[in-house]
Amino acid sequence: MHYLHNKLSIALRSASLMLLSLLPFSPAISDVFTNQEDYSFEQIIPVNLTAPANPGFPIGIGSEGWIKLQFSITADGSTDNIKIIDVMPEGFSTGPAINAVKAWTFQPAILDGTALDWHNNIVVINYDLPEIPNLSGPRFTTPYEEIQELINAGQYDRAERQAVTNLKEETFSLHDIGLGNVQLALVEIRRQDLHQALQAITRATIPEVNQLTIEELDVALQYRFTIELSLGRFMDAINTYELRNEIVEMAEDDTIHQQAEQLQMLLDQNYTLIAKGKILDSNKGWFFIPSLRNFTIADIDGELESIDVVCNRNLATLPFQPDIEWSLPESWGDCSLTINGDMNTTFSFYELQD
């Protein structure tokens, strides 16, 4: 039997990378990561995995980046329903990754002796190129410092615009991507837009990709935990806490340690989960992995259209209806949801106990 959230982290070539801290701009020689060509799965068995080609660049070697995809494994072991969940930097070529996933084959999922389609497989393809040292050069650090000056001066809207531009146009290494997203998250916190802040800090701390030094990652995960807690994404906050606990030893009096313990106590008491959602891109919707089977959506400000449900054993698109409680059958397996609607629509996503 196979299970949800199958993850594959791909490093395209072997490399020993030394990270550079930008706070201040000096080498962090203690943080050396060795990334090997590695295919790591949970509960799914690959037959053939074609390594994604590097995106084509007309001049030079291009830049590093990563792509997060969702796909189905059909009853004959081929792949289908390939969907881009996220990509960094924006504009990074996704064609080679999609073509590679199209060519992948697996042993099909078997239920009661019969092969069946198995959906909701999630993969992160990491373009960690050995010819690019994982440090940040003047192309990125000069505007980074200028943005920091804007933040210090309280010019948050201008800082946001420049931070977005820096991420989109001036990133070269994975470290650029990680540090740029941390900076953008801090700007969004100052602008009191926690939804944008969560998107940025999640991109900076994606577990499958080494983007930050241990010290930088520790700080970023603290921000991520606090933002998730503020938006009611309690299970995500617990997962972030556990991820931080794996990389650093937290003191018993650490505030986040205490908050996580209190949060777990509430969850153990069947506390109703209420996450605050916002559609930041109408073409992508709001992607969410629920931890409970029953949910409803309320407090809507804007327009919602539909809910795409991708479960291990079923795919469905539900037209949105207000004041409706949906239930995901256990027989469907683990699920992920995409809430579709107009850009900037906000809502509350209630996960209900049985």
* 230-241 average pLDDT score: 95
Contacts of 74 (CB under 8 A, 6+ apart): 80, 108, 117
The answer to whether 189 and 173 have CB atoms below 8 angstroms apart is no
Q: What is the pLDDT of residue 250?
A: 82
Q: What is the pLDDT of residue 43?
A: 56
Lookup: tokens for 152 = 């210090």
- Tens digit of pLDDT for each residue in 124-161? 999 988 877 777 888 899 999 999 999 999 999 999 99
The answer to whether 251 and 285 have CB atoms below 8 angstroms apart is no
How many Å apart are CA 278 and CA 341, to the nearest integer?
10
How many Å apart are CA 148 and CA 139, to the nearest integer?
15
Q: For residue 127, which of 209, 40, 19 has the smallest C-alpha distance? A: 209
How many Å apart are CA 111 and CA 244, to the nearest integer?
37
Lowest mean pLDDT among 36-50, 106-120, 145-159, 248-262: 36-50
Domains in the chain (CATH in brackets) are 1-271 (3.30.1150.10), 273-352 (2.60.120)
* Burial annotation 240-259 (CB, 10 A radius, 16+ → b, else e): bbeebeeeeebeeeeebeee
DSSP code string of 4-65:
S----EEESS-EEEEEEEETTEEEEEEEEEEE------SS--EEE-PPPPPPP-SSS----E
